[in-house]
Amino acid sequence: MKNKKIYLPVLIVFALSVFLQMGCGRSQPSQFYVLTSTSEEDAPSSQAEKLQDISIGVGPVELSDYMLRPQILTYERAGKLDYAEFERWAEPLDDNFARVIAQNLSVQIPTEQIFIFPFRGSAKVKYQIVFEVLRFAKGPDGQVTLIVLWSIYDEQEYKLLTRKKSTYQRPGPTGEETYYEQLSTIMSHLLEDLSHDLVSHLLKMVGSPK
């Protein structure tokens, strides 16, 4: 009986040690990603110079709660969401979305008067662009899709100027090793596509008769 009393605690400690080591062996560090401006190589067009004296506000950007989780989202099949356990956004996706759009516009338009919502200080915005993101992820068809409702308001005259639903698609990542790095880059390019359309619509408004 005495030997059993001695060895039982030792066995328990040993079992706990093995369990903890197994748990640690399965864990892995999270990887973090951000959307980035892909318009850095673009030069403002001669037409875009018409916007150089106009102040532009970007945001707010509205996403559904399920899209705001830090884990990167993909659609496994229709109605089935898949969240990556260890691949995460480094900042809230709505903030990242607005920042990249603003960076893209600042490259495509020769102006420093681009502001991100909420507007602070003495910022006097002429046109405010508001976004409602309906989808922004890779789908079961392998395509990465951005579906967004966007509206442009004249903040100085307090009226809605245009509202549009746009869809953008690009082929999804290939290969496993850099899958999520590729995915974040593709999503960044979709924001570049959207930014070009925004500039085109702003130019039409500036060029239209009052």
pLDDT confidence of residue 133: 98
Whether residue 194 lies inside any domain: the answer is yes
Whether residue 149 lies inside any domain: the answer is yes
Whether residue 14 lies inside any domain: the answer is no
Whether residue 69 lies inside any domain: the answer is yes
Residue of 182 and 43 predicted with greater confidence? 182
pLDDT band of residue 19 (cuts 50, 70, 90) is very low
- What CATH number should be reported for the domain holding residue 171? 3.40.50.10610
Whether residue 21 lies inside any domain: the answer is no
Neighbours of 154 (CB within 10 A): 14
CB-based contacts of 51: which residues, under 8 Å, 6+ apart?
A: 109, 110, 111, 199, 202, 203, 206
> Domains in the chain: how many in total?
1
Among 5-9, 16-20, 30-34, the range of highest mean pLDDT: 30-34
Whether residue 15 lies inside any domain: the answer is no
Whether residue 63 lies inside any domain: the answer is yes
Query: Where in the sequence is the domain holding 145, given as residue range(s)?
Result: 30-207
Whether residue 18 lies inside any domain: the answer is no
pLDDT confidence of residue 208: 60
Residue of 50 and 198 predicted with greater confidence? 198
**Is 113 a residue whose pLDDT tops 80?**
yes
pTM of the predicted model, to two decimals? 0.83
The residues that bridge with 169 in the sheet, in sequence order, are 145
